[in-house]
Amino acid sequence: MALATYFGRAATAASQVLQGFQTKNFEQLLNGLVIGIAFDETACSSEGRASLDLLVRLVARLYPNICFLPEGDEATKLARSLSSLARSINGQIDIVRPRLAALSQCLVVGSTAPDVDCSRMFLGSDGWLAKFSTVQPVGSGCSSNSFGAGAASCIAASNLFRLIFNEQISGATVDSAVSFSLFDYAPGSDANPPLETNTVLDTIFLLGLGAIGNGAVWALARVSGLQGQLGLVDDEEVDQGNLQRYVLALEKDIGGSKVKLARRHLTSQRGLSLQDHPYKWQSLAGSHSLQHVAIALDTAADRIAVQAALPRWTINSWTQRGDLGVSHHHLDGELACLACLYLPTGSVPDEDQVIAQALSLEDRKMDVVRPMLHSGAPVSVELMREIASRLMVPLEPLLPFVGQPLRGLYQAAICGGVVFELTGGGKPVRVEVPMAFQSAMAGIMLAAEIVKRSAHRDAPSWTTAKLNLLRKMPSDVITERRAKDRQERCICQDADYLDAYRARYKSV
């Protein structure tokens, strides 16, 4: 009993990137692993501590047995607080004592090169630079910039996953050496200017405090002396399935508001004024002027709607099959606005189609699914019996969802991995559930863009920066300038929207 109670969600996420996925094999493999985390006194620097904190927040959500290997008094003390962090993320986790078990893989922070009988992965940072090596220690800097440190933990967690599940990820190999600049994302770049202290945020709203929002808040909490105003916007509460990839969330946070969770991590930013908005972003659009917006929302429709609310500028972030990244947008100008990137291409199914398919109710889409999604009517026992029978799963585990709206049943039972677990992985899940290290990386990049934009008052020359953490780094890192919609269907090509935008911000 060392796997987390939210294992179903973790299996759902893994099934989307692993070929020939079987829940039972996945579970057995994880249970048989002991992941070592070794570090010395030099890892007790500010950047080293940031890397270790995020590393534990990523690793403890998936791997049921971990082993701390601290060297020196300060590191031993730090290991105690990291153990307690790991236990609060997964109350069932086994913290194995060194020398009591053979390690399967060992992640190393600092300058140490521990003598272990398994492969070692060294991670560390120097300001904006995330570093990783399978050969030698890479060290951790002493700056107050945690962006490289956090990204290094995501890169290390992705390499650990690629190494363990090598045979099930096509084209996946482990990186041998990485130096990746969060300042400009360019392959081979060593851009690493000092991070300005006391950066003033220009009244930014962070829309969405899900997995990416959690990663963003983790990083923003560590920027020295942040000032200005930050609006925290999310109407939801943390559910059990969220723990699979919400780096801030502990088991005790289940049922609590996502806004409160984010606020708790930002309280050390005394110069930052936080505004809680525990409701949907749409209700905010009417009462506040959404000028500067950082977006960590789930859907394309939401992103198009945000762009239509005419913010002065937006910084977007995403995870999707194949890549993750960030993008900058204005409505005006030559380059793609946010809506340009998310206009439907004709192949994107509607929500009612997706839900009907997931619940095996395709033939009832018009008479049951669509009206129920519209009215929010609760799912009856009779309908649940039919769904269970069509999905060929037992009724009983689905009974707790009776009385919920159909969308709630879909989110909890399908996206939450309940049906996936009942079928032993046999019923593939169409919904996108990223791995924790993918969401955290997108969040750290979003936070980096918020801080750079606030400090430099200018958007970068590129529109999008994206990478694929299931492939070698940094060959897949691409920054590019994206053009507007070719078919001229977008609101940024509509004179009425442009006039309204220009009038609002007095630009010509």
Stretch that binds Zn ion, among 1-9, 194-202, 236-244, 340-348 (CB under 5 A): 340-348
Pick 281 or 501: Cβ nearer Zn ion: 501
Complete edge-to-edge strand list for the sheet that includes strand 94-95: 94-95, 65-70, 35-39, 105-109, 119-126, 129-133, 177-181
Pick 79 or 490: Cβ nearer Zn ion: 490
At closest approach, how far in Å is the CB of 219 from Zn ion? 28
CB atoms within 10 A of CB 448: 27
Task: Return the residues of window 471-490 that contact Zn ion according to CB under 5 A.
Answer: 490
- Report in angstroms the alpha-carbon separations of 58 from 21, 41, 208, 410, 422: 21, 22, 20, 26, 26
Stretch that binds Zn ion, among 292-300, 337-345, 397-405, 432-440 (CB under 5 A): 337-345
Pick 199 or 316: Cβ nearer Zn ion: 316
The residue among 503, 474, 59 whose CA lies nearest residue 244 is 59
- Report in angstroms the alpha-carbon separations of 405 from 8, 122, 260, 402, 409: 22, 47, 25, 8, 6
Stretch that binds Zn ion, among 13-21, 315-323, 339-347, 496-504 (CB under 5 A): 339-347
DSSP state of 2: -
310 belongs to the binding site for Zn ion (CB under 5 A): no
- Letters for 200-219 (x = contact with Zn ion by CB under 5 A, - = none) are --------------------
| Backbone φ and ψ of 22, nearest 5° | -130, 125
Stretch that binds Zn ion, among 101-109, 133-141, 332-340, 422-430 (CB under 5 A): 332-340
339 belongs to the binding site for Zn ion (CB under 5 A): yes
- Report in angstroms the alpha-carbon separations of 236 from 123, 231, 233, 279, 431: 34, 15, 9, 7, 19
492 belongs to the binding site for Zn ion (CB under 5 A): yes
CA-to-CA distance for 405 and 38, rounded, in angstroms?
Answer: 47
The answer to whether 93 and 66 are in contact (CB under 8 A) is yes
Task: Return the residues of window 450-469 that contact Zn ion according to CB under 5 A.
Answer: none
Pick 476 or 485: Cβ nearer Zn ion: 485
At closest approach, how far in Å is the CB of 493 from Zn ion? 6
340 belongs to the binding site for Zn ion (CB under 5 A): yes
At closest approach, how far in Å is the CB of 307 from Zn ion? 7
At closest approach, how far in Å is the CB of 345 from Zn ion? 14
At closest approach, how far in Å is the CB of 31 from Zn ion? 49
Q: Which two tokens stand for residue 112?
A: 């140490």
At closest approach, how far in Å is the CB of 313 from Zn ion? 13
- Please report the sign of the dihedral spanned by the C-alpha atoms of residue 41, residue 43, residue 49, residue 53: negative
Pick 219 or 340: Cβ nearer Zn ion: 340
CA-to-CA distance for 300 and 377, rounded, in angstroms?
Answer: 25
| Residue 469: strand, helix, or coil | coil
Task: Return the residues of window 420-439 that contact Zn ion according to CB under 5 A.
Answer: none
341 belongs to the binding site for Zn ion (CB under 5 A): no
Pick 183 or 342: Cβ nearer Zn ion: 342
Chain centroid, CA 463 distance in Å: 20
The answer to whether 402 and 384 are in contact (CB under 8 A) is yes
At closest approach, how far in Å is the CB of 497 from Zn ion? 9
At closest approach, how far in Å is the CB of 477 from Zn ion? 25
Pick 151 or 341: Cβ nearer Zn ion: 341
337 belongs to the binding site for Zn ion (CB under 5 A): yes
The answer to whether 142 and 126 are in contact (CB under 8 A) is no
Stretch that binds Zn ion, among 11-19, 200-208, 335-343, 379-387 (CB under 5 A): 335-343
304 belongs to the binding site for Zn ion (CB under 5 A): no
For residue 349, is it left (φ>0), alpha (ψ between -120 and 50) or beta? Answer: beta
Total interface residues for Zn ion by CB under 5 A: 5
CA-to-CA distance for 36 and 107, rounded, in angstroms?
Answer: 6
At closest approach, how far in Å is the CB of 196 from Zn ion? 32
User: Can you give the binding site for Zn ion, defined by CB under 5 A?
Assistant: 337, 339-340, 490, 492
